[in-house]
C-alpha cells in the first residue's frame, strides 16, 4: 500500500505519524472540531475534514422522538459517507450521551442511572451493562459515548447527583468497570493511559468530568470545588486512575472550577497532571460550548477562550454550533503562533490514535447485524437484575418483629397510587429520549403499575388512582397500598435543588393513603429527599428505587419476595437540608440513614 495510514497491519503510531504528515493545517483543525448534527452539512464535513459529530439530547434523525436504531444508523452512515469523501478519507467519530443505555434511541434498553448502580456495589454487573450498552450504541451507527461519569458526589443538591455512583471514592472506583464493558478488556500488558477499544462491538468511552465536578460548594452545577490538591487527588481524581488503567480513550473536562480556576483552561490539571504525570495518551474533549463559558458575558472574546483552552490541553472542541468561527479563529491563532503547531499536532495525533485504535478506518459504517440486540430480552433481563440489586430497603414494618415485606401477591384487593406508579418517563429520569427526560411512554418498558399487575394473582383486584380520594380509601377495604412518588426528570443545572422535598405533593399523597391503608412507599429519585419523622412513622415500608429505567419488573421481583433486597445506600441520607453537605468524613455525621445502610426483607430491625 502507498499510504501507511491505510494499512491495517501497520503499527498504530506509524499510521498516526504518516497521516499527520499528509495533513494541511485546515485539515488538522477540522479534526479538532466536533459539531452538532443539526449544523452538519455534507460540504462542511468533507471540505473542513470535520473530526467528529455529536447528537445532543433529543437531537436525532427526525423530529419524532421515536426514531429507531435503524433510523439513527442511516443518519450516521450518511454523515460518515461525507467524511470518507474528504481528501484523506478520515472517518468521523460520532458521539452521544449513552449514559444509562443508549437512552436517546426509542426502544433501547434503559438501565438504572449511576446512583442506582452504585447501590448494587456489583462491578461485574456494571461491566455487563457496559457491554450491552456498547452493542446497542453500535447498532445505531454511533462509535462514542460520553460516559461514564466518575464524579464523587459530595452534596445531593447537585443536579447531576444521579450521574455519580457514590459519595465514596472507593465505590466509584469499583464501578469504573463499566469502561471495560464499553471498550472491551485490554490485554494484560496494555500500557496504562494508552487508548484501547477491542473491536466492532465496542465503543469509545469517556471518563468525565475532569476533575472535581461532584465536590462544588453547595452542590452548585458548574460551580467551584475548594480543596487543596492533595484532597482533589485523593477524593476526585482517583477514579480516573482506574479508567486509565482500563484504556479509557477520552476524558472530558469539567465545566466547574478548582479553587477559582476554570478546568477548561487549567493547564496544570489537563496537561501536567493528566497527560504528563498520569500518562494519558487518548484525547481530552471539551464539554458543550464550554469554551464560550470561559468569558463574561458568555461567548464574548471567543478567540481568547479558544487559545486558553487549547493551550491548556483541550484536544477536541465540542463547539458545537458556530464551527465556522471556531475554525477561522483557530487558523488565525495557529498562523500567529499563539497556538503552536506542536500543540496542534499533539492534539491531532491523540484524536487519530483513538480513531485507529477503535478500528474506524477499517469499519466506519454500521454493522446492521447488531440491530436485533436493541432492547432484546437478554439486555432487558440484565436491566431488570440491575433494578433488583439497586433497591435499598430503608424501613420494613412498624413492629420490629413483624416485617411488612414481602407483600402478599394473592391479596384480595390492593391500591396502587402516586405520581410515579404509571409513568415510564419519570421512572427513567433525565437523559432519556431528550436531555431533560420527560413524562409518559417516552420509550418501551414496564412501569411499576404494569409490573405489579403482572405479579399479582388472578383473583387480586388492582385499583389504581394517582391521587386517591377519601371515598376510595374509605370504601374499598384494601389489603395494602403501594405508593410511588418522587422527582420529575431533570439534568444538569436545572436539577440543582436546595430544598429537596418530594415534588408533586408526594408527602401529602403518602400521608393520605397511609392514614387509611398499610402502605409501602417506593421513592423514585436521583438522590436522597426530605423524609420528615412524622411521615416515616406513618408508613409501613420504604424503598429507595432511585431512577430504575425501563424495567419496572425488577421492583415487583423484590417487593413480592421473589428476590431478596441487596442494595445499600451509595450516598448518605440526611435528616435536614441544613445539614448539607453531609457525607462520610465530615465531623458532624448525624444522618437519617448512613452510607452503606440497607435492610433485607426478613431483617428484624426498626428504623424509626
Q: Which residues are catalytic?
A: 287, 492
Q: Which helix H or strand E contains 215, and what residues bound it?
A: none
* CA end-to-end distance (rounded Å), the chain: 74
**Residue 96 in 3-state DSSP?**
strand
With cell 467528529, the residue in question is: 52
411 burial via Cβ count (<10 Å: 0-12, 13-18, 19+): middle
DSSP characters over 486-516? EPPP--SGGG--SS---TTTHHHHHHHHHHH
The total number of residues shown for the chain amounts to 608
Q: Please, are residues 8 and 361 in contact by the beta-carbon 8 Å criterion?
A: yes
Cα 211 to Cα 195, 207, 235: the distances in Å are 19, 10, 10
Q: Please, are residues 563 and 538 in contact by the beta-carbon 8 Å criterion?
A: no
Sign of CA dihedral 408, 545, 552, 173: negative
Q: In three state form, how does the secondary structure of 134-160 look?
A: HHHHHHCCCCEECCCECCECCCCCCCC
Q: What are the strands of the beta sheet with 519-524, ordered from one edge?
A: 392-396, 541-546, 519-524, 480-486, 413-417, 461-465
State yes or no: cis peptide before 148, omega within 30 of 0: yes
Amino acid at each position: 500500500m502507498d499510504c501507511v495510514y491505510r494499512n491495517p497491519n501497520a503499527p498504530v503510531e506509524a499510521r498516526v505519524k504518516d497521516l499527520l504528515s499528509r495533513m494541511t493545517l485546515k485539515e488538522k483543525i477540522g479534526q479538532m472540531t466536533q459539531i452538532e448534527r443539526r449544523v452538519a452539512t455534507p460540504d462542511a464535513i468533507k471540505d473542513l475534514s470535520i473530526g467528529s459529530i455529536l447528537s445532543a439530547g433529543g437531537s436525532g434523525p427526525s423530529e419524532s422522538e421515536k426514531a429507531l436504531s435503524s433510523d439513527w444508523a442511516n443518519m450516521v452512515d450518511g454523515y460518515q459517507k461525507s467524511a470518507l469523501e474528504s481528501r484523506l478519507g478520515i472517518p468521523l467519530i460520532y458521539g452521544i450521551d449513552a449514559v444509562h443505555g443508549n437512552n436517546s434511541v426509542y426502544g433501547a434498553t434503559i438501565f438504572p442511572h449511576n446512583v442506582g448502580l452504585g447501590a448494587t456495589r456489583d462491578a461485574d454487573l456494571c461491566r455487563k451493562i457496559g457491554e450491552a450498552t456498547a452493542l446497542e450504541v453500535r447498532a445505531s451507527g454511533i462509535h462514542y459515548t460520553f460516559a461514564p461519569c466518575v464524579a464523587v458526589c459530595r452534596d445531593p443538591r447537585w443536579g447531576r447527583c444521579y450521574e455519580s455512583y457514590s459519595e465514596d471514592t472507593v465505590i466509584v472506583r469499583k464501578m469504573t468497570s463499566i469502561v471495560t464493558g464499553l471498550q472491551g478488556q485490554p490485554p494484560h500488558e496494555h500500557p496504562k493511559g494508552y487508548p484501547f477499544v477491542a473491536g466492532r462491538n465496542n465503543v469509545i468511552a469517556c471518563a468525565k468530568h475532569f476533575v472535581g465536578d461532584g465536590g462544588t460548594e453547595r452542590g452548585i452545577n458548574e460551580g467551584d470545588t475548594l480543596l487543596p490538591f492533595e484532597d482533589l487527588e485523593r477524593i476526585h481524581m482517583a477514579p480516573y486512575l482506574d479508567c486509565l488503567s482500563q484504556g479509557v480513550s477520552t476524558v472530558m473536562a469539567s465545566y466547574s472550577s478548582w479553587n477559582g480556576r476554570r478546568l477548561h483552561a487549567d493547564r496544570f490539571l489537563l496537561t501536567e497532571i493528566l497527560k504528563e504525570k498520569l500518562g494519558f495518551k487518548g484525547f481530552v474533549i471539551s464539554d458543550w460550548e464550554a469554551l464560550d463559558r470561559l468569558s463574561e458575558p458568555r461567548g464574548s472574546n471567543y478567540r481568547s477562550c479558544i487559545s486558553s483552552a487549547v493551550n491548556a490541553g483541550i484536544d477536541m472542541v465540542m463547539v458545537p454550533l458556530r464551527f465556522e468561527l471556531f475554525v477561522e479563529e483557530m487558523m488565525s491563532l495557529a498562523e500567529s503562533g499563539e497556538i503552536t503547531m506542536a500543540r496542534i499536532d499533539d492534539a491531532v495525533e491523540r484524536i487519530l490514535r483513538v480513531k485507529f485504535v477503535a478500528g474506524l478506518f477499517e469499519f466506519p459504517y454500521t454493522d446492521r447485524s447488531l440491530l436485533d440486540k436493541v432492547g432484546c430480552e437478554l439486555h432487558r433481563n440484565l436491566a431488570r437484575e440491575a433494578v433488583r440489586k439497586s433497591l435499598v430497603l430503608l424501613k420494613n414494618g412498624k413492629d420490629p418483629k413483624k416485617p411488612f415485606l414481602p407483600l402478599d401477591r394473592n391479596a384480595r384487593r390492593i391500591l396502587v397510587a402516586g405520581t410515579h406508579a404509571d409513568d415510564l418517563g419519570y421512572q427513567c429520569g433525565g437523559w432519556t429520549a431528550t436531555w431533560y427526560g420527560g413524562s409518559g411512554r417516552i420509550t418501551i418498558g414496564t412501569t411499576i403499575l404494569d409490573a405489579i399487575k403482572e405479579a399479582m394473582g388472578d383473583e387480586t383486584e388492582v385499583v389504581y388512582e394517582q391521587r386517591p380520594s377519601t371515598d376510595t380509601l374509605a370504601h374499598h377495604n384494601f389489603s395494602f397500598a403501594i405508593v410511588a412518588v418522587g422527582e420529575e426528570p431533570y439534568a444538569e443545572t436545572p436539577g440543582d435543588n436546595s430544598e429537596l422535598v418530594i415534588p408533586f405533593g408526594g408527602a401529602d399523597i403518602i400521608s393520605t393513603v397511609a392514614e387509611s391503608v398499610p402502605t409501602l412507599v417506593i421513592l423514585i429519585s436521583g438522590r436522597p429527599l426530605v423524609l420528615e419523622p412524622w411521615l416515616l412513622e406513618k408508613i409501613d415500608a420504604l424503598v429507595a428505587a432511585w431512577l430504575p429505567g425501563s424495567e419496572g419488573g425488577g421492583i415487583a421481583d423484590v417487593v413480592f419476595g421473589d428476590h431478596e433486597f441487596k442494595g445499600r445506600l451509595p450516598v448518605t441520607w440526611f435528616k435536614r437540608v441544613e445539614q448539607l453537605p453531609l457525607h462520610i468524613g465530615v465531623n458532624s455525621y448525624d444522618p437519617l440513614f448512613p452510607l452503606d445502610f440497607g435492610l433485607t426483607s426478613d431483617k428484624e430491625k426498626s428504623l424509626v
